[in-house]
Amino acid sequence: MRVPWQSWLLLFLYQIHQANGQDDANAITLPKEVEACNGIFLQYPFDSRQKEYPYLKNATAQSWAFKSELIVLNTGTTELKSWQAFIGFQHDEILVSVDGATVLNGDSFPMKVEKNGTHLTGYPQADLKTAIDTAGDLTQMSAKVKIKGTMFGVKLGGNVMPTNIKLENEGFKCPQATAKASICFFFRRAFGSTMESSIQSEI
Ligand SMILES: *[C@@H]1O[C@H](CO)[C@@H](O)[C@H](O)[C@H]1NC(C)=O
Ligand SMILES: *[C@@H]1O[C@H](CO)[C@@H](O)[C@H](O)[C@H]1NC(C)=O
């Protein structure tokens, strides 16, 4: 049987489409600030939120469904073993699913955070390799955590961000707690090490 060339073309285009689709699902889009980071870069992109039932007159009691991410990326020259980070949730968040990390101070979902914030550790991506050791393979250098949950009382246009995000591993210079979405943690100058710590900065 002769297969017309148009069919091959369609099959080819379909495969390209499939491949792109897969890439998109796992892709990590990084902001320009990453370029100034030589250490561990953390980012908390807030994806979306939507008013949940029941709709209430009392805005303080209103619940909202939200989706956000935590991205942890090694842009330094030292592998980071068992990354651990803190998200300072401040809107009585209730976590419904956390994909890509284990919650250290919690048990089962739905998980009340109250005002305590959440400590996360990488799972399954616990260790973040360097670009040097992986020829710049982002999938081995970074972890992406997908968070889904409920938050309370933030009116439209209000600040949906946590109080801060923080890397909790030992040996890092941590910038002041900040409500900004991206932050870079520099390696401290360690004993006998040639690791150079750049100026502490906040992005
Ligand atoms: C609105 O909801 C908040 C939080 O649940 C509650 O503390 C407050 O008393 C409520 N206000 C009114 C007027 O019902
Ligand atoms: C938050 O921290 C307080 C004080 O340590 C504790 O009593 C409370 O149980 C914690 N809440 C949650 C949801 O972990």
Query: Is 144 exposed, middle or buried (CB count within 10 Å of its CB: 0-12, 13-18, 19+)?
Result: buried
Instruction: Please check whether residue 3 lies inside any domain of the structure.
Output: no
Q: Is 58 in the pocket of ligand 1 (CB under 6 A)?
A: yes
114 within ligand 2 shell (Cβ under 6 A) = yes
21 found inside a domain = no
Residue 66 lies in a domain: yes
Atom 3 of ligand 2, residue of closest alpha carbon: 116
Number of domains in the chain: 1
Do the domain assignments include residue 15? Answer: no
Number of other residues whose CB lies within 10 A of the CB of residue 118 = 23
**Does any ligand 2 atom lie closer than 6 A to the CB of residue 81?**
no
Mutate to test the pocket of ligand 1, among 55, 57, 58 (most ligand atoms within 8 A of CB): 58
Ligand 2 centroid from CA 121, angstroms: 19
Indicate whether 98 belongs to any domain: yes
Q: Tell me whether residue 185 is in a domain.
A: yes
Convert the pLDDT of each residue in 143-182 to its tens digit.
999 999 999 998 888 889 998 898 999 888 776 655 567 7
Task: Look up the domain containing 97 and give its range.
Answer: 32-202
The CATH number linked to 142 is 2.60.40.290
Q: Are strands 182-187 and 101-103 parallel, antiparallel or unpaired?
A: unpaired
Q: CB of 61 closer than 6 A to ligand 1?
A: yes
Distance of CA 62 from the midpoint of ligand 1 (Å): 10
Per-residue model confidence as pLDDT tens digits over 91-142: 999 999 999 999 998 889 999 998 899 999 999 999 999 999 999 999 999 9
| Within a domain: 27 | no
Residue 123 resides in a domain: yes
Taking the model in full, what pTM does it have?
Answer: 0.80
